[in-house]
């Protein structure tokens, strides 16, 4: 790492920090910024987002007039833009949440996913190293482990990604850890289960099903629907990220795992029952089976003991989290304006 005096102004020795959140207008990033603003009201928060189709500044409307929050539109892959942010904003902590994350699209545009998720991460790491940030928290995914029928993954399990999205995230992880090993950049990696909650774009499975049901359409299920996912409410994920900021061991990886698992076909049936008040014998009338994606992993079970030792466990049970989520989508039917048929078919 280079001499700090050559690259930054002297940082004030005070409790206040400046936090950079990439992808802060997206689903997880916006929830994280809102939690940061509530938990640390004196800290400055810089939100960098390219504002692609699944991001919206409406997610942060409550903060747009606050003096400690700043939005800057830009691309994490643009080295000159990122260097300018770090040189002018005096960044202390980075939460890197920006990513291309739609698995279906990754099969269509694999090079774009690798560019944004791996090369973009490299650009951020170079700047974080040059300007000597205190912590760099990288948001990853359980999908880097690949498929498992019965084995639970811990952080030492090998990465065996099976689609272009998870491959790009696994590559980014390797780059993140290389900056710890070679430069001692203080990095932490969080691998999360599937996240759900209010304001998530319709391409993800829960909001997609809810949108279809609101439009009196059937839930489109890829393949057999027997593939299952562990679902974690977004507030539990953002709380985990703040705990990693405070207590995570530098250079370590942490599974942020959900306790709740459900098959996609059963998920659809539960949502039909809750949204349409359908009787048990009518649930499958609202299901439409479509072609599966090229590769569809059965499940991603993780062990989260390392997070538990830091004092984190999921607090929002599925019944409460899905109730809150359904209520939000029912009250915000026109929140996402440009919903295409392709969005509703994807998963």
What are the phi and psi torsion angles at 73 (to 5°)?
Answer: -80, 135
Instruction: State how far the Cα of 262 lies from the Cα of 270, in Å rounded to an integer.
Output: 10
Is 165 marked active-site?
yes
With b meaning 16 or more CB within 10 Å and e meaning fewer, what string describes 121-159? bbbbbbbbbbbbbebbbbbbbbbbbbbbeeeebebebeb
User: Within a 10 A sphere around the Cβ of 110, how many other Cβ atoms?
Assistant: 15
Given 132, 142, 203, 236, the catalytic residue:
142
Q: Where are the alpha helices (DSSP H) in the chain?
A: 4-7, 27-39, 79-89, 103-108, 110-114, 120-130, 164-183, 205-214, 234-247, 264-276, 305-309, 318-331, 341-345
Strands 93-96 and 135-141 turn out to be parallel
Given 49, 143, 236, 239, the catalytic residue:
143
Instruction: State how far the Cα of 205 lies from the Cα of 282, in Å rounded to an integer.
Output: 21
Given 69, 138, 145, 165, the catalytic residue:
165
What are the phi and psi torsion angles at 231 (to 5°)?
Answer: -110, 130
Is 143 marked active-site?
yes
Distances (CA, A) of 63 to 50, 238, 284: 18, 17, 43
User: Within a 10 A sphere around the Cβ of 275, how many other Cβ atoms?
Assistant: 18
Distances (CA, A) of 121 to 83, 101, 116, 159, 172: 13, 14, 7, 18, 6
The answer to whether residues 212 and 223 touch, using CB atoms and an 8 Å cutoff, is: no
Token couple for 322 = 């899905």
Q: Is the dihedral of CA 228, 233, 234, 240 positive or negative?
A: negative
Is 142 marked active-site?
yes
Annotated catalytic residues are 142-143, 165
């Amino acid at each position: 790492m280079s001499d700090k005096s050559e690259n930054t102004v002297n940082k004030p020795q005070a409790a206040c920090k400046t936090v950079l959140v990439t992808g802060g207008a997206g689903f997880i990033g916006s929830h994280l910024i809102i939690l940061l603003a509530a938990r640390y009201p004196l800290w400055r928060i810089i939100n960098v987002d390219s504002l692609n189709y699944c991001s919206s500044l409406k997610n942060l409307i409550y903060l747009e007039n606050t003096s400690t929050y700043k939005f800057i539109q830009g691309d994490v892959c643009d080295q000159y833009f990122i260097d300018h942010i770090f040189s002018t904003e005096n960044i202390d902590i980075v939460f890197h949440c920006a990513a291309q994350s739609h698995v279906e699209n990754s099969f269509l545009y694999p090079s774009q996913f690798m560019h944004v998720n791996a090369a973009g991460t490299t650009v951020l790491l170079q700047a974080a190293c040059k300007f000597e940030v205190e912590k760099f928290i990288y948001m990853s995914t359980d999908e880097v482990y690949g498929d498992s029928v019965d084995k639970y993954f811990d952080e030492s399990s090998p990465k065996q990604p099976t689609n272009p999205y998870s491959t790009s995230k696994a590559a980014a992880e390797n780059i993140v850890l290389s900056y710890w090993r070679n430069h001692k950049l203080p990095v932490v990696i969080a691998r999360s289960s599937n996240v759900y909650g209010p304001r998530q774009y319709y391409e993800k499975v829960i909001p997609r099903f809810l949108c279809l049901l609101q439009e009196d359409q059937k839930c489109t299920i890829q393949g057999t629907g027997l593939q299952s996912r562990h679902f974690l409410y977004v507030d539990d994920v953002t709380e985990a990220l703040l705990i990693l900021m405070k207590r995570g061991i530098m250079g370590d990886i942490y599974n942020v795992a959900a306790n709740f698992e459900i098959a996609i076909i059963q998920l659809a049936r539960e949502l039909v029952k809750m949204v349409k008040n359908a009787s048990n014998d009518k649930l499958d009338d609202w299901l439409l089976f479509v072609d599966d994606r090229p590769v569809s992993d059965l499940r991603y079970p993780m062990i989260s003991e390392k997070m538990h030792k830091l004092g984190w466990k999921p607090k929002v049970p599925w019944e409460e989290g899905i109730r809150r989520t359904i209520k939000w989508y029912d009250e915000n039917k026109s929140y996402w304006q440009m919903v295409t048929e392709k969005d509703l078919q994807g998963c």
